[in-house]
Chain A
């Protein structure tokens, strides 16, 4: 914005699109802004620029990780961080589900349909292992949810 590339409103819209389309939000946003400013080459340049640092950082970390993992202090740090991350992920999942389907501050207007959809999808996803012996894949769940979304909210 400080470059005068985008208006406020435009940026808000772009963030909304980047959040709902597949792929990492930051990468999507970079592609979008780049494309809006300089077409294909702009999109390619912006995307490359946003991916490169993580790419390099992980390669560096991997290079030191092999020896570092044997260090008891590094192990101690990881021992603390791993369960913390599990807690964070669980909380994020629980909050997302609750925000989507229950009346909550900051959530959407309560809609019985959404709650029903949540229960339905949860039953299909977690229940499939018990019935068929194999759990449906996350990709299948995404596809099913898109179709049920179109059906449920379309009528």
Chain B
């Protein structure tokens, strides 16, 4: 019961402070679930993020469900997911009831402007942490650099290409490289 409550509360905290979409949340989840609570490892976190990127639905929900299930099965998954959703649900519900011009309240707009800056930094931080734990080999670094350049190009030129396309290409590249390698080792009299 204590663990369930802990899961709920932890993800409620993450949910309350996740601004600007899923990527910013990665830094928060790394901070709480990987470093402080040690519920999942960095590598598992990478796997969830990849799965979250390639399946429909918000990354935040995917992560909460994954961590909750890992810790306490089905009830854990439900507790974590509800925790993740509840804060924003309450906030939006209150806004929809009481504020018609929520974004025109000047101090709120200013706070959001400040938060936007922080969100960019958090996403950058998530990326840097991932690089620092990546294998420093030619292939992953090349893929990373290409994806970085391509995504930046897509953003700057506002191209109508989803990041999912890049993920697909990378998956294909991974398969291709593996099959080449296998053939080579076979030809070399390996297994």
CA distance A132 to B122 in the complex (A): 19
Which residues of B are found within 8 Å of A83, using beta-carbon distances? 134, 139-141, 143-144, 147, 170
Q: Are B110 and A154 in contact (CB under 8 A)?
A: yes
Give the A-B contact count at a CB cut-off of 8 A: 331
Interface secondary structure of A, over-half rule:
helix
CA distance A85 to B123 in the complex (A): 12
Total residues of chain B contacting the partner, CB 8 A: 104
- Given known pairs A83-B141, A86-B144, the reply for A43 and B89 (CB within 8 Å) is yes
Judged by a CB distance under 8 angstroms, whether A27 is at the interface is yes
**Of the residues A22, A26, A125, contact of B16 by C-beta under 8 Å:** A22
- Given known pairs A31-B92, A61-B51, A154-B110, the reply for A93 and B124 (CB within 8 Å) is yes
Q: Are B49 and A85 in contact (CB under 8 A)?
A: yes
Which residues of A are found within 8 Å of B121, using beta-carbon distances? 93, 97, 118, 121-122, 125-126, 141
- In the complex, the chain A residue whose C-beta lies closest to that of B91 is A21
Contact with B along A76-96 (1 / 0, CB 8 A): 111111111111111111111
Q: Are B17 and A95 in contact (CB under 8 A)?
A: no
Q: Are B95 and A21 in contact (CB under 8 A)?
A: yes
- Given known pairs A31-B88, A84-B167, A145-B114, the reply for A91 and B148 (CB within 8 Å) is yes
Contact with B along A39-64 (1 / 0, CB 8 A): 01001100100010111011101100
Q: Are B93 and A93 in contact (CB under 8 A)?
A: no
A-facing residues in B134-162 (Cβ within 8 Å):
134, 139-141, 143-152, 155-156, 158
Given A100-B116, A145-B118, 10 new contacts (CB under 8 A): A22-B18, A25-B58, A26-B58, A27-B60, A31-B89, A43-B93, A61-B51, A69-B47, A81-B171, A96-B120
Chain B residues with CB under 8 Å of chain A are 13, 15-23, 26-28, 31, 46-47, 49-62, 65-66, 69-70, 74, 77, 81, 84-85, 87-89, 91-93, 95-97, 102-103, 106-107, 109-128, 130-131, 134, 139-141, 143-152, 155-156, 158, 163, 166-167, 169-175, 177-179
